[in-house]
Amino acid sequence: MNRFLLFIDSLSTWVGKTFGWAILVLTLTTSYEVFSRYLFGRPTDWAFDASYMLYGTLFMMAGAYTLARNSHVRGDFLYRSWTPRTQAKFDLALYFLFFFPGMLAFVYAGFNFAKLSWMMNEHSAASPAGPPVYHFKALIPITGVLMVLQGVVEAIRCVVCIRTGEWPQRLHDVEELDKIVLAQAEQGKLDVVRQLEEIGQRKGTV
């Protein structure tokens, strides 16, 4: 079971990191548009379409990766104080009440949306260049499928945690510094608490 969970984690990670390169292309595209527009007085007719498609691609295809890393936004000030079993019960209920219905609707509507776009050979009407957008819209149902797969994995993790009282293993490759310091601070390391206070002061939160 754990191998299956980690395999889906790895798949979500691979997709997220692969499409993460879109941020580099987006940066170069935006920079080129700024230089061309303000230095040479020759704005492009394709940068706007390229920017929203690249950003949309990055945002959608990183969704499952973010879920695999347990990094979507939640009310940590409450969630952190609960026991693992309570966390798992709460998560499992929310997955079945909101996540799965929403994602399945996303897949269904997104498939029809993308299918229609391909059938009509849809092009953008937002700029004179009018690039094709059907390939971009095809990512909508793909994103939904990846999110459902990762959601199944997270639901299984919740069930395991409810039974054992501990969260099962998940892949980790990157952790925010603040999160690491908070975890160490909760273990009572005073020097880490001081580091946390310094970080808060730099950010204007202490």
The ranges assigned to domains in the chain are 2-174, 175-206
Task: Return the pLDDT at 205.
Answer: 44
User: Can you tell me the mean pLDDT for 152-166?
Assistant: 94
Task: Return the pLDDT at 179.
Answer: 61
- Among 49-63, 67-81, 131-145, 181-195, the range scoring the smallest mean pLDDT is 181-195
Which parts of 62-95 fold into alpha helices (H)? 63-68, 76-79, 84-94
User: Can you tell me the mean pLDDT for 150-177?
Assistant: 84
Distance of alpha carbon 126 from alpha carbon 116, whole angstroms: 19
User: Can you tell me the mean pLDDT for 147-165?
Assistant: 95
pTM, entire model: 0.79
Give me the sign of the Cα torsion angle 158, 162, 166, 169: negative
Side-chain-facing half-sphere of 28: CA atoms under 13 Å: 4
User: Can you tell me the mean pLDDT for 144-173?
Assistant: 91
Nearest alpha-carbon partner for 72 in 91, 97, 53, 52: 91
Give me the sign of the Cα torsion angle 156, 159, 163, 168: positive
Task: Return the pLDDT at 100.
Answer: 97
**Which three-class secondary structure state does DSSP give residue 168?**
coil
Which parts of 40-189 fold into alpha helices (H)? 47-61, 63-68, 76-79, 84-94, 100-119, 134-137, 139-164, 177-186
Confidence check: pLDDT of 106 > 80: yes
Task: Return the pLDDT at 204.
Answer: 46
Task: Return the pLDDT at 80.
Answer: 80
Distances (CA, A) of 78 to 81, 86, 90, 162, 205: 6, 11, 12, 18, 19
Report yes or no: 8 and 150 within 8 Å, Cβ to Cβ: yes
Summarize pLDDT for 69-105 with one digit per residue, the tens: 888 877 777 888 889 999 999 999 999 999 999 999 9
Share of the chain above pLDDT 90, in %: 61
Helices and strands (DSSP H and E) totals, the chain: 11, 0
Task: Return the pLDDT at 206.
Answer: 42
Confidence check: pLDDT of 189 > 60: no
**Which three-class secondary structure state does DSSP give residue 40?**
coil
Report yes or no: 99 and 186 within 8 Å, Cβ to Cβ: no
Task: Check residues 140 and 184 and name the one with the higher pLDDT.
Answer: 140
Mean pLDDT of the chain: 86
Neighbours of 133 (CB within 10 A): 19
User: Can you tell me the mean pLDDT for 149-172?
Assistant: 91
- Among 8-12, 40-44, 90-94, the range scoring the smallest mean pLDDT is 40-44
β partners of residue 123: 132
